[in-house]
Structure 1
C-alpha cells in the first residue's frame, strides 16, 4: 500500500487525478486496502459502500474522455452512519435500524457527490449519535488510532478515527454539542461546525432539536475543510434553518486588510481545563501574535454568569426525548444501549426551568454579540483533556472531579448560540495524544477562522503527524 496515496489530502488527490498522474481507481483501491489493513483494530468503518469501485471506474473514464471535472472528481469520502446514503445502509448505531437502507442521499452527501466525490464507506457512532464515545450494540466500539485503549470521541468518532488513520481523506460528521469538534481533537484532525443553518440537515437523523444540530466536514487539512465547506453550504428547500448562502475563495479563508483581533480564553466559563490543554491554547495565541494578529487574554462575562453546559442540559432533556420515543415506538426498549436508556429515564425539565434556560441561552447569544463587537475571533480549548481511556465516567481535571458531560464545556456554547467553531491540532500531551484548539468567529464569519486556522497549520510542528499503525 502506498501511503503517498492514502495520506494525501483531498485537494491534492483531486489535483493529481485532474493531471492524470493517478487514477480514481488507484485512489479508491488504496483506501479500500487501507481499510482492510487497519480497520479491524480501530473499527471506524462499519459499511463499505457498494458501487465505490464502479464509481471510480466511471470517474476515470470521464478523466480520459476530457470531460469537465468537479473539484472533488474521483476523490473518496466517508460519512457518519447517521447521514442517509442512497442504496447504502444507514443504521444509526442501533439494532432497531439494522439493515435500514435509504433511497435518497442526505443533502450533504449529495453535494459532495455532485462535486465528483465518491462515497467510500459509512463510519461508526454512538447509538443515535448521542454520546461522547462511539460505541453501540450494533457495530461495537471504535478505538483511537493514536492509542487503541483511548476513545476517538463521539458522536463522530468513527469518522475522526477513519480520517486520522488514512482510511479516508474527507468525511461528514454531525454536531449537537461536541460531536464534530471533539472527535477531531481526540484524533488530531481538523473539523468545522459552521454557523447554524449554513449546511442543511436534510436526510440526517435525529433532527430534534434541530436548532442545535449541525453537519460539518472533517479532514486532515484546512484547505480540505474550506473546499468542503464551500460545497456544502446553502439552502436546499427542505431544511428551513438552512437559509443563508455563502460565497468566498475556497482557499483557506481570506486574508483581512487589517490585523485580526483575537481574544484567547481558557478559564473561567468552560469548567476545569487540564494544564497541558491550557498551555496549548496559550501557545496557539502566541503563534497568532507572532504572525501579526492582535492577541490578548479575555473573559466573557456571559459564560461566567450562565454555564452553557447546564443551560444546554436543561433544554435538551425536553427536546431530545421525542427522538428516542420515535425509535422505541415499537416497544423495542430491550435493544437500547446505555445513553438512550439514561435519557428516557431522566426526569423532564420543569416548564419554569425550561423557560429560564431559554432566557439564559439568549443572554449567552447577547454576550457573544457584545464580544464580537471588539474582537474578530476567540481562541479556546476544544476539550478539557486529551483523549481518555474507554468507559471512563468521571475525570479529575486540574484538581476538580467532574462527570463525562463536562467534556462538552467549551464546545456546547457554540451549539446554543449557533456560532461557528473550528477544531485544529496545535499540541501534544506528555504521552503523545493530540491536543486541538478551537477557533470561534462571529455568525457567518467562517472565512475568519479558516484564515486563522491556515496560519496555525503553517506554524504547527504537529501538522502532518500520523499515528503508528
Structure 2
C-alpha cells in the first residue's frame, strides 16, 4: 500500500482521502518512509517540517468529523528552500542564511495550505536559486534519481528530484530563466511557469528585481498542475506585478470551437539541439496532429534576430548584482559559493548595451504577439540535451560547442516575455533518460496549454514518470 501511495498523483490522493479510502496519516507516513529509504542517495531535501505528522493527524480528524475539506486536503507538498515557510527553515542555499526562520509563509505556500495541503519538507537548490545545478555550501549537491551521477537541474532541482523519486507528489519551485521547466525535463516530471504576475512572488528572495521571476507548481500529472494553479493564481495585494484579475478558465478538456493551431520549433532561434531531443518534439507534433489539431513547423523571426539568452544576460546582470551585493555585504569569502562570486565579479553592462537589450526584449514580445495572432500554442523542446553529468560546463550539441548557459536557450524567452509554459515528458533517450517537451501559450492562456498538455499526456506512451530507486 505504501508503494502504491507514493506514486499516486496529488489529485488521486486527495480523492482517496476525501472518500476515506486512505487517511492523511497513512499518506504522510508512506512519504516519510520513502524519504528514509531514498533521500540519503538523492539529497533532494534540506529540512523536514517537524509539524507534518501532527498536521496529517489534524487533517484526519477533519475528515472523520465530516468537516468541509479543501481540494488538497491531507496531501503532502514540498517547497523549494528559497520560498518562505513560517516556522520552517528557509536558508536559500547559503551559509549566509543558515538558521533563518521566517515568521510568515510566502503567498504561494499559504494558498497551498489553505487548500488543505500539508507542508512536508523544504527542497535543495543552488546558492540563491542561481544556477542550473542544485549544489551549495550549506546542503550539498542533489542527484538525479534516474542516474545519481547526473544532475536533476537547477534551480528547482531538489524539488524535481523529490517528486521524481516518490518523496513528494507535488511541490513549488521558482523560475528565473529555466528553473521549474529545466529540472522537470531532467527528471521527467511536469511543471508550469504561468504568465508573469499570475502567481505572486511575495515571500520569495529577491524582493527586487523580480520582473523575470516566477513561482510555479511541479508534479507528476497535468491535472495536478491545473489543480495547484487554481489555488495559486491571483493578486495578493503585495506583489505589484500580480495585479491581473483575469479569471482562469478551469475547463480543461472542453472542446474548442475550432481546431487548435500549433506551431512546432526546434531550430533556429534557440541554439543547437540534440537530434534525439528534436525527434521527440517532432513526435509530439505528430501526436497533436493525430488529435485533430492543425500542426506545422514554424519559425519566429524575432528569436533569430535577437538571441534571447544574450538579451537576458545583458539585462539581468545589471539588475541582479545589487541584490547579490546586499545579501553578501560584509561576509567572508568562504561563505560564498560559485554563483555569488561569479555574479559579483561580472562587469557591468554598458548603458548603451542595456538600452539595446531593453529594445530587443520589446522586439521579442512583439514577435511572440505576432506569432500568437496566428497560432494557439507553440511546441518546442525544454532542454537541448537530456540530463547531463554533474559539473559539466561545456557541451558539444549537434556538432556545436557551447557552454552550460546555453541549456536555457528555449526557456529564457518565456521569462523575458512573461509567456506561460508547461514542461512535460514525451520521450526517452537512448540512455534511458527522460526527454520533455515545452508547450507555450499566449499571455494568460494557461487554460489552453493545460488543455493541450492533458491531451498530449493521454496519448503518451511514456508511463514511467518516476524513478524506481
Q: TM-score, normalised by structure 2?
A: 0.99
Q: Does 1:274 align with 2:274?
A: yes
Q: Does 1:307 align with 2:307?
A: yes
The question of whether the paired residues in 2 share the 8 Å contact of 1:255 and 1:451 is answered with no
Match of 2:131 in 1: 131
Match of 1:333 in 2: 333
The question of whether the paired residues in 2 share the 8 Å contact of 1:315 and 1:357 is answered with yes
2: CA distance, partners of 1:52 / 1:226: 24
The question of whether the paired residues in 1 share the 8 Å contact of 2:96 and 2:331 is answered with no
Matches within 5 A, 1:345-424: 345-424=345-424
Matches within 5 A, 1:25-424: 25-248=25-248, 250=250, 252=252, 254-424=254-424
CA displacement at 1:236 relative to structure 2: 0.3
- Structure 2: where are the runs of 5+ without partners? none
2: CA distance, partners of 1:212 / 1:253: 30
The question of whether the paired residues in 1 share the 8 Å contact of 2:261 and 2:293 is answered with yes
- Structure 1: where are the runs of 5+ without partners? none
Q: Does 1:433 align with 2:433?
A: yes
CA displacement at 1:246 relative to structure 2: 4.5
The question of whether the paired residues in 2 share the 8 Å contact of 1:226 and 1:251 is answered with no
CA displacement at 1:464 relative to structure 2: 3.9
- 1:358-397 superposed Cα distances (whole Å, 9 cap, x missing partner): 0000000000000000000100010000000000000000
SS in 2 for 1:125: coil
2: CA distance, partners of 1:163 / 1:178: 18
2: CA distance, partners of 1:80 / 1:317: 23
The question of whether the paired residues in 1 share the 8 Å contact of 2:311 and 2:360 is answered with yes
Deviating more after overlay: 238-247 vs 104-113 = 238-247
SS in 2 for 1:218: strand
Structure 1 residues 318 and 203: alpha-carbon distance in aligned structure 2, compared to 1, 3 A threshold: same
CA displacement at 1:250 relative to structure 2: 4.0
CA displacement at 1:256 relative to structure 2: 1.5
Structure 1 residues 202 and 195: alpha-carbon distance in aligned structure 2, compared to 1, 3 A threshold: same
SS in 1 for 2:282: helix
Deviating more after overlay: 45-54 vs 171-180 = 45-54
- 1:387-414 superposed Cα distances (whole Å, 9 cap, x missing partner): 0000000000000000000000000000
CA displacement at 1:251 relative to structure 2: 5.9
1: CA distance, partners of 2:463 / 2:81: 27
Aligned CA RMSD, in angstroms, stands at 1.0
2: CA distance, partners of 1:309 / 1:59: 45
Match of 1:23 in 2: 23
SS in 1 for 2:354: helix
Structure 1 residues 253 and 129: alpha-carbon distance in aligned structure 2, compared to 1, 3 A threshold: farther
1: CA distance, partners of 2:456 / 2:179: 22
1: CA distance, partners of 2:293 / 2:229: 24
SS in 1 for 2:151: coil
The question of whether the paired residues in 2 share the 8 Å contact of 1:46 and 1:124 is answered with yes
Q: Does 1:468 align with 2:464?
A: no
The question of whether the paired residues in 1 share the 8 Å contact of 2:108 and 2:232 is answered with yes
Q: How many residue pairs are counted as aligned between the two chains?
A: 469
CA displacement at 1:206 relative to structure 2: 1.8
Deviating more after overlay: 208-217 vs 116-125 = 208-217
Structure 1 residues 252 and 45: alpha-carbon distance in aligned structure 2, compared to 1, 3 A threshold: farther
CA displacement at 1:37 relative to structure 2: 0.5
1: CA distance, partners of 2:74 / 2:246: 25
The question of whether the paired residues in 2 share the 8 Å contact of 1:93 and 1:124 is answered with yes
The question of whether the paired residues in 1 share the 8 Å contact of 2:248 and 2:446 is answered with no
The question of whether the paired residues in 1 share the 8 Å contact of 2:193 and 2:422 is answered with yes
The question of whether the paired residues in 2 share the 8 Å contact of 1:193 and 1:216 is answered with yes
Deviating more after overlay: 333-342 vs 306-315 = 333-342
- 1:111-157 superposed Cα distances (whole Å, 9 cap, x missing partner): 00000000000000000000000000000000000000000000000
CA displacement at 1:468 relative to structure 2: 2.5
Deviating more after overlay: 122-131 vs 248-257 = 248-257
1: CA distance, partners of 2:215 / 2:465: 26
CA displacement at 1:466 relative to structure 2: 2.8
CA displacement at 1:302 relative to structure 2: 0.1
1: CA distance, partners of 2:20 / 2:270: 49
SS in 1 for 2:73: coil
SS in 1 for 2:362: helix
Q: Does 1:456 align with 2:469?
A: no
